[in-house]
Amino acid sequence: MYVSMKGMLANANSHNYAVMAINCFNLESAYATICAAESMDAPIIIDLLMENLQKHIPREYALPGIIKMAEKANVEVAINLDHGNSKEYVLQSINAGFSSVMIDASEYKYDENVRITKEVVKMASSRGVSVEAEIGNMGAVANNQFTRTSMYTDPQEAISFIKETGVTALAISFGSSHGSLPQDVTPEFDFNIVQEIKNATHLPLVLHGGSGCGEKNIKMAIQYGINKINVGSDVMQAQADSVFEQHSKNHKIEYVNLMTTTMQAAKEMVRYYIKISGSAGKTSKNS
């Protein structure tokens, strides 16, 4: 069933687990993600990155098909615009049919971030659309631009931001970075940031850059108050590894068969994250 993030994150918040948000880039990756969630009776969020929609498959082509998948799924599925850094694009996405949007104005000064976010929340709430925002800054593995401690979220700013904007969920920076981490690197998390914000607001909090953070970090983050975990790179890497493996075995493999193997690899990785997030078996029909 097609829903917003609001209800599923409220349940996760009440029962101390997290919902997985998988960054998908086409119909196949969205289908594999939903199938994995169905196999584990888990609510799921399909994250569609604004940059991917602009550079690869346009929103008007990708979104309708994924909405249809969500509507027919036997678990709750939210479709969330990820890192919408243009207010105009975010508002257009609400009209286009997204059940959830992320307005990412974190690169602006605090007051401007609040102003932009409030405008999006006002329109979204009138349409039953949930809103995620971000405060603090996230680095990226690319070009070794990892998240530095100076980029971490200020808890007091986050608390004020939540009270001023009325967002559904807030993404915070406390140690993770976007992208595929080297195998020998496990980020150090500052869980005190999560705990302070959670204790003051009781709002669902979001971990971006979940790939490669490790089970221990993720489970601890959930204990301290994270209720949505974004993962993309690990799923895509599993698919890329599958391509290499299958092509190495048979470089004349038909493309349709090659794609099928990558979808299986994606399902397995999504199931892995659902398991450690604690969301398996947490569909509304089981509550």
Whats the size of the chain, residue-wise?
287
Structure tokens at 23: 């960054």
Cα angle 262, 70, 234 (rounded to 5 degrees) comes to 35
Q: Cite the active site residues.
A: 82
Pairing status of strand 19-24 against strand 44-49: parallel
In the chain, what is the straight-line distance between the N-terminal and C-terminal CA atoms, in Å? 15
Q: Using CA atoms, how far apart are residues 86 and 62, in angstroms rounded to an integer? A: 19
Phi, psi of 227, deg, nearest 5: -125, -5
Instruction: Outline where DSSP puts E strands in 161-225.
Output: 169-172, 205-207
The one-letter amino acid at 236? M
In DSSP terms, 226 is beta-bridged to: 205
Could you give the angle at which helices 110-126 and 87-96 cross, rounded to 10 degrees?
10
| Four-point Cα dihedral 137, 20, 91, 56, nearest 10 | 90
The one-letter amino acid at 262? T
Contact 38, 46 (CB under 8 A): no
Contact 21, 117 (CB under 8 A): no
